[in-house]
């Protein structure tokens, strides 16, 4: 999903649906070969790995390493996040989305910004996504836009965004250290990337879609960030991961977190860990809310392969770039079906 792109008409999908469109607006139609029915794989019984934080440390770190190398996606159980808090947050998200449009519009995303409420807009290739989002910054302190962007209704939404953000953030700090260790790096290697990281929490509503066979909730993309923590509704499908050129549905385990490695980690690990392509489907008879927390470096932080991972037989695959320059590069490149992090290849 492109941060801050905004929808062409700035109109939320829920509002679009009120006009009961009989045909699908062209801007949502996926290009040939990239539609929701193309290259789907539902029969192989493959599942993304599940990592149990209660396993002994060396087993857990080995499983983490394999998951990051082979998939770039995994689910985590026994992660320490109080899922009752998450369930309350999701309930409040549904309550937010059923409020009248004029109430929601108070928190509307301004042109060129990524925080706020509205249709998220365009995927990397320029096709519009069928999703409404409410995006709030959790950190750094200077970016926390509580008064301007965190809705004050429904009551307690702010409280639960804050509490869920803190708890997910605690797990994220552990994950950053475990990722470093699993690569054979000092546990604080990702500290600069993450200690003062930019963390944003999005509540994504995938409304019912009468054109579900031609549009996507979120088109195929990889995440530009360090990593993303996603919390889907238990047992509800929709998220799909690209595996061996096919789209594999993710089955969210009860009370699990889904983690996906972002482009920054792919570059920092010199390509060992994968920032995998993924997308989200929508359905005619089932809507869902996902909670998405992105962790990214501050714009000025330099991203490049860790020196410790380089040798004459493993030279740097990626050149150095500031995170801000990388985002600019990605936003300028609308090519389809290519890994965006390839633009940093040496
Ligand atoms: O909401 C989801 O299931 C996926 C969202 C996603 O991939 C993203 O926001 O980058
Ligand atoms: Fe994503």
Query: What is the Cα–Cα distance from 343 to 35, expressed in whole angstroms?
Result: 25
More confident residue, 319 or 3: 319
Domains of the chain by range and CATH? 2-344 (2.60.120.330)
Atom 4 of ligand 1, residue of closest alpha carbon: 280
Three-class SS of residue 124? Answer: coil
Number of H helices, E strands in the chain: 9, 14
Atom 8 of ligand 1, residue of closest alpha carbon: 1
Residues whose CB falls within 8 Å of the CB of residue 80, separated by 6 or more in sequence, listed in order: 53, 167, 170, 171, 174
Q: State the pLDDT confidence band at 284, using cuts at 50, 70 and 90.
A: very high
Say yes or no: CB of residue 168 within 6 Å of ligand 1: no
Residues, the chain, total?
346
Query: What is the Cα–Cα distance from 3 to 137, expressed in whole angstroms?
Result: 13
Atom 9 of ligand 1, residue of closest alpha carbon: 1
Cα(136) to ligand 1 centroid in Å equals 15
Mean pLDDT, rounded, for 292-309: 93
Atom 1 of ligand 1, residue of closest alpha carbon: 290
CA-nearest of 114, 287, 265 to 201 is: 114
Cα(209) to ligand 2 centroid in Å equals 20
- Among 41-50, 70-79, 182-191, the least confident range: 41-50
Cα(346) to ligand 2 centroid in Å equals 25
- Token reading at 77: 């159980």
Query: What is the Cα–Cα distance from 33 to 214, expressed in whole angstroms?
Result: 11
Give how far Cα 261 sits from Cα of 1, 32, 76, 230, 327, Å.
15, 28, 13, 11, 16
The pLDDT of residue 339 is: 79
Cα(132) to ligand 2 centroid in Å equals 14
- Contact at 8 Å (CB) between 213 and 10? no
Cα(312) to ligand 2 centroid in Å equals 34
120 CA: nearest ligand 1 atom? 9
- Contact at 8 Å (CB) between 99 and 153? yes
Residue-averaged pLDDT of the chain: 90
Cα(119) to ligand 2 centroid in Å equals 15
pLDDT digits (tens, 9 = 90+) for 131-144: 999 999 999 988 89
Residues whose CB falls within 8 Å of the CB of residue 116, separated by 6 or more in sequence, listed in order: 107, 108, 109, 110, 134, 135, 149
Residues whose CB falls within 8 Å of the CB of residue 135, separated by 6 or more in sequence, listed in order: 109, 114, 115, 116, 117, 149, 200, 201, 202
The pLDDT of residue 334 is: 67
- Token reading at 313: 């037989």
The pLDDT of residue 39 is: 86
- Contact at 8 Å (CB) between 340 and 134? no
pLDDT digits (tens, 9 = 90+) for 81-122: 999 999 999 999 999 999 999 999 999 998 878 899 998 766
Say yes or no: CB of residue 290 within 6 Å of ligand 1: yes
Q: State the pLDDT confidence band at 340, using cuts at 50, 70 and 90.
A: confident
The pLDDT of residue 20 is: 87
Say yes or no: CB of residue 204 within 6 Å of ligand 1: yes
Say yes or no: CB of residue 203 within 6 Å of ligand 1: no
Cα(174) to ligand 2 centroid in Å equals 21
Q: Tell me which ligand sits closest to the C-alpha of residue 2.
A: 1
ipTM comes to 0.99
The pLDDT of residue 41 is: 83
Q: State the pLDDT confidence band at 67, using cuts at 50, 70 and 90.
A: very high
- Among 31-35, 70-74, 167-171, the least confident range: 31-35
Residue 190 has pLDDT above 80, yes or no: no
Query: What is the Cα–Cα distance from 73 to 250, expressed in whole angstroms?
Result: 10
pLDDT digits (tens, 9 = 90+) for 217-270: 999 999 999 999 999 998 788 999 999 889 999 999 999 999 999 999 999 999
Q: What percentage of residues in the chain have a pLDDT greater than 70?
A: 92
Mean pLDDT, rounded, for 259-288: 95
pLDDT digits (tens, 9 = 90+) for 2-42: 444 344 456 899 999 988 888 999 999 998 888 998 888 87
Say yes or no: CB of residue 114 within 6 Å of ligand 1: no
- Among 41-50, 59-68, 195-204, the least confident range: 41-50
């Amino acid at each position: 999903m492109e941060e801050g792109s905004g929808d062409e008409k700035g109109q939320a999908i829920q509002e679009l649906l009120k006009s009961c469109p009989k045909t699908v607006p062209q801007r949502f139609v996926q290009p040939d070969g990239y539609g929701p029915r193309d290259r789907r794989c539902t029969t192989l019984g493959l599942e993304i790995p599940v990592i149990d934080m209660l396993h002994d440390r060396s087993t857990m770190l080995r499983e983490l390493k394999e998951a990051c190398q082979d998939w770039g996606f995994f689910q985590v159980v026994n992660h320490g996040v109080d899922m009752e808090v998450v369930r309350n947050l999701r309930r409040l998200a549904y309550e937010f989305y059923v409020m009248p449009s004029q109430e929601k519009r108070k928190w509307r995303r301004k042109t060129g910004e990524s925080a706020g409420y509205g249709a998220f807009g365009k995927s990397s290739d320029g096709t519009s996504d069928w999703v409404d989002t409410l995006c709030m910054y959790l950190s750094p302190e200077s970016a926390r836009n509580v008064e301007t962007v965190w809705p004050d209704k429904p009551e307690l939404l702010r409280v639960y965004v804050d509490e869920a953000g803190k708890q997910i953030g605690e797990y994220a700090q552990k994950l950053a250290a475990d990722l470093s260790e699993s690569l054979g790096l000092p546990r604080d290697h990702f500290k600069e990337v993450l200690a003062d990281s930019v963390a944003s929490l999005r509540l994504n509503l995938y409304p019912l879609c009468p054109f579900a066979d031609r549009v996507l909730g979120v088109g195929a993309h990889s995440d530009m960030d360090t990593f993303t923590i996603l919390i889907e509704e238990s047992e509800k499908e929709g998220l799909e991961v690209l595996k061996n050129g096919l789209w594999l549905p993710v089955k969210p385990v009860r009370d699990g977190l889904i983690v996906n490695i972002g482009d920054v980690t792919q570059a920092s690990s010199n390509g060992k860990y994968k920032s995998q392509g993924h997308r989200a489907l929508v359905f005619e008879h089932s809507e869902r809310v996902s909670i998405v927390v992105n962790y990214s470096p501050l714009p000025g932080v330099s991203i490049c392969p860790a020196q410790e991972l380089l040798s004459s037989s493993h030279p740097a695959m990626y050149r150095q770039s500031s995170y801000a320059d990388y985002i600019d590069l990605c936003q300028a490149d609308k090519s389809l079906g290519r890994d965006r992090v390839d633009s940093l290849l040496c």
